[in-house]
Amino acid sequence: MHRSDFVRQLNNPGGDRRPSRVLHIDIPLLLLLLALCGIGLTVLYSASGQSIFYVKRQASFMLAGLLAMLIMAQFKPRFWERGSILIYIGGLLSLVAVLYFGVGAKGAQRWLDFGFTRFQPSELMKIAVPMMVSAYLSRRHLPPQFKHVFIATVATLLPVFLVARQPDLGTSLIIFASGFFAIFLAGLGKRYLVATVLSALAAIPTLWFYVLLDYQKQRVLTLLNPGEDKLGAGWNIIQSTTAIGSGGWSGKGWTQGTQSQLNFLPESHTDFIIAVLAEEFGLIGVLSLLLVYLLLIGRCMMIALNAQTQFSRLVAGTLSLTFFVYIFVNMGMVSGILPVVGAPLPFISYGGSAIVTLFSGFGILMAISTEQKRI
């Protein structure tokens, strides 16, 4: 008998038969997620120009996401560890397929169209990469040797470049971050860390001249000087900072934001939705949301710390840090401290794929969370 099993029986002699245990649900995590969904739907109603249609659709995405989360939570972490290589390879192949057969909008090919539904492989990779890298490294002796770091890096960069080719800079950045976090948490040596930072700096000119497309460069330039092109590339940032700034402490009130209601704010219900929240609920609203996010991340980190296996630890830690990257990239870009890349604000921005992906990630976290108490 394992020691932990013994303890569990001591604490709970009758066996844990609470529904949350049976269904592999982490209650604090679920409550925080539901809180975010509630905030998201509230802001979306205002941001979409008070469209009950968008709210209904988003709510159904959320239900689908919750369902996906619950299903994924039922599988043991061991299952995900073993399956990660298959998921990763499948994802990689579909990314290649997207480059040739993909459909999309606004000059980017992001989806595979199966007729009855559309599938966005880059979303899958947001989970597949941390799982794959975690699974690979957790089987090595940690901290990893150079060889293993190299392999893990290649495994990360392959999808990063494929997604960047679509082009979808925001998602490729997230995927890169997730791979990097896994390697970092696995105990990447300080020398490698320094080397990574230096090579990232060295890569900037290469990126600028060979990888970034003109519109992407424009966005970076716009960040540096939004006033230069007030009606072109700078418009989004000027309007979003105006929306945020005019919110003040407590905002203009729900559905009362002039910037968003009068359509000055572009993409107000998708990537720029934080500006609507900031305009209508002020700094108090923004900080409240940030607090909920941090509580969620904190809960995830506790799960990571208490996880039973190296794989579980790495996956949970990676997913929680990556989740913060979503938030930082989005809130940073809308407030004008980061270039504009396509990055939705988790659970608040409108969009089905992103919601389902996010919930799936939390499904794995729940699987990890409920495992620890059970072994």
Partner 1 sequence: MIDNGVFSDPERERNLFARRLFVGTLMTLLLSLVLGLRYFNLQISRYEDFATQSNNNRVLVRPLPPPRGLIYDRSGQLIADNRPSYNLTIVPERSENVEQLLSELGKLINISERDIQSFRKKLTRRRPFEQTTLYVNLSEAERAILAVNGHRLDGAETSAQLIRHYPHRDLYAHAVGYVGRINEQESQTIESVKYSGTDSIGKVGLEKFYETQLLGTVGSEQVETNARGRAMRILQQTPARPGDNLTLYLDTDLQRAAFDAFKGERGALVAIEVETGGILAMVSTPSYDPNLFVTGISQKSYDGLLYSKDRPLFDRAIRGQYPPGSTIKPLFGLIALQHNIVTPNYQINDNGYFYFEGIERPWRDHNFARGGHGDGVNLSKAIIESCNIYFYGLGIKTGIDLLSNYGSQFGLGAKTGIDMPGERPGIMPNRAWKKGAHGQSWFNGDTINTSIGQGFMLTTPLQLAVMSARIASRGDVRAPRLVKSINGIEQTATQVATNIDIDTEHWDYMHQAMQDVVHSRRGTARSINIELDYKIAGKTGTAQAISIDAEDKYDSSKLNKNQWDHALFIAFAPVKDPKIAIGLIVENGEHGGSSAAPIARAVFDAYMASQESVTLVTK
Q: Which is nearer to partner 1, 38 or 248 (CB)?
A: 248
The 89-118 site mask, x for binding partner 1 (CB under 8 A), equals ------------------------------
Per-residue DSSP letter, 119: E
Is residue 248 a contact point for partner 1 (CB under 8 A)? yes
Stretch that binds partner 1, among 37-45, 154-162, 237-245, 359-367 (CB under 8 A): 237-245
224 near partner 1 (CB under 8 A) = no
Residues 6+ apart with CB under 8 A from 305: 313
Dihedral of the CA atoms 98, 329, 205, 146 (nearest 10)?
A: -80
Q: Which of 243, 276, 348, 355 binds partner 1 (CB under 8 A)?
A: 243
Tell me the DSSP string of 15-35. Answer: ----HHHHTT--HHHHHHHHH
Q: Please tell me whether residue 297 binds partner 1 under the rule CB under 8 A.
A: yes
Task: Tell me which DSSP letter residue 342 carries.
Answer: -
Q: What is the DSSP letter of 345?
A: P
258 touches partner 1 (CB under 8 A): yes
Residue whose CB is less far from partner 1, 273 or 356: 273
Question: Taking every pair of C-alpha atoms in the chain, what is the biggest distance, in angstroms?
Answer: 69
- DSSP element (H, E) containing 168: none
Listed in order, strand segments (DSSP E) in 208-337 are none
Contact region with partner 1 (CB under 8 A), list: 50-58, 87-95, 123-131, 280-288 = 280-288
Q: Using the rule CB under 8 A, is 174 a contact of partner 1?
A: no
306 near partner 1, rule: CB under 8 A? no
18 by Cβ neighbours in 10 Å (0-12 / 13-18 / 19+) ranks as exposed
- CA atoms of 156 and 144, how far apart (whole Å): 16
Q: In whole angstroms, what is the distance from residue 104 CA to residue 13 CA?
A: 56
- Name the CA radius of gyration of the chain, rounded: 21
What is the per-residue binding string for partner 1 in 142-171, x denoting contact by CB under 8 A?
Answer: xx-x--------------------------
The answer to whether 371 touches 137, Cβ cutoff 8 Å, is no
Q: How many residues does the chain have?
A: 375
- 62-81 binders of partner 1 (CB under 8 A): none
Give how many residues touch partner 1 by CB under 8 A: 52
By CB under 8 A, residue 50 contacts partner 1: no
**Binding positions for partner 1, 181-210, rule CB under 8 A:** 181, 184-187
Q: Does 361 bind partner 1 (CB under 8 A)?
A: no
From the CB of 107, what's the least distance to partner 1, in Å?
Answer: 14
Structure tokens at 46: 């205002």
CB 194 to partner 1: min, Å? 14
Instruction: Please state, in angstroms and rounded to a whole number, the distance separating the CA atoms of residues 255 and 82.
Output: 48
Residues lying near partner 1 in the complex (CB under 8 A): 139-143, 145, 181, 184-187, 231, 239, 241-249, 258-259, 262-265, 278-279, 282-283, 286-287, 290, 294, 297, 301, 304-305, 310, 313-314, 317, 321, 324, 327-328, 331-332, 335, 337
